[in-house]
């Protein structure tokens, strides 16, 4: 991971706390890691956590001319090797599949000039819904890489598919997408 630039986008789900562990592991592996968050993600984990783990400011708004005069979606995606969305909510998957750019993360997805890896997390009924599965199929067809959710105990007190993959599995997928530099 040494010398690689990874942009981690955190969307609003309870699994956002796992993103902090992933970001820490990526940083420890020598990657340059930047984080952006949706407003909903901030309900679960604060930006100060990610700033401390990366040593970089966290992008939180589409329009922040003081921090990103060209737009965070342009500046943050300009020189990245990988765009990773953890957790990827049903809302993000729908926006990405439809090409809707109505927040910082979905706009950045469309601007990312590199491989994209997503790790979905949601209630099992949502994950199994035909609309979500259509969006997943469309994104796979577009070349998006997935670390599929696991089955198990969910925060909603149900059990089933939808639990975000463990950060170490996501880290392995990132390593496969970004072989060591020569």
Domain that holds residue 171: 5-177
Q: Which regions of the chain are under pLDDT 50?
A: none
Q: Please identify which of the residues 94, 156, 169, 177 carries the catalytic annotation.
A: 156
pTM of the model: 0.90
| Residue ranges of E strands in 11-164 | 32-37, 58-59, 82-88, 116-120, 145-146, 150-153, 159-163
CATH number of the domain to which 137 belongs:
3.40.50.1950
pLDDT in tens, 133-180: 999 999 999 999 999 997 675 666 777 667 789 999 999 999 999 976
Asked about 114 being catalytic, the answer comes back as no
Say if 66 falls within a structural domain. Answer: yes
- As for how many domains the chain has, the answer is 1
> Left if phi > 0, otherwise alpha if psi is -120 to 50, otherwise beta: which for 125?
alpha
Q: Check residue 61 and give its pLDDT.
A: 67
Residue 80 in domain? yes
Domain assignment present for residue 52? The answer is yes
pLDDT of residue 55: 94
Q: Is residue 182 part of a domain?
A: no
Residue 19 is predicted with a pLDDT of 96
């Amino acid at each position: 991971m040494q010398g690689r630039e990874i942009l981690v986008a955190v969307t609003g789900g309870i699994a956002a706390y796992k993103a902090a562990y992933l970001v820490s592991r990526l940083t420890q592996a020598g990657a340059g890691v930047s984080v952006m968050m949706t407003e909903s993600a901030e309900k679960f984990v604060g930006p100060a956590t990610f700033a401390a783990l990366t040593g970089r400011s966290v992008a939180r708004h589409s329009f922040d001319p003081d921090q990103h005069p060209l737009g965070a979606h342009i500046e943050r995606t300009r020189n990245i090797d990988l765009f990773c969305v953890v957790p990827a909510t049903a809302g993000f998957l729908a926006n990405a599949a439809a090409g809707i750019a109505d927040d910082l993360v979905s706009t950045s997805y469309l601007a990312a000039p590199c491989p994209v890896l997503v790790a979905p997390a949601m209630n099992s009924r949502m994950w199994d819904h035909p609309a979500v599965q259509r969006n997943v199929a469309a994104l796979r067809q577009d070349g998006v890489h997935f670390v599929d959710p696991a089955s198990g105990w969910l925060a909603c007190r149900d059990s089933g598919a939808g639990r975000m993959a463990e950060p170490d599995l996501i880290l392995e997928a990132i390593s496969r997408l970004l072989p060591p530099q020569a």
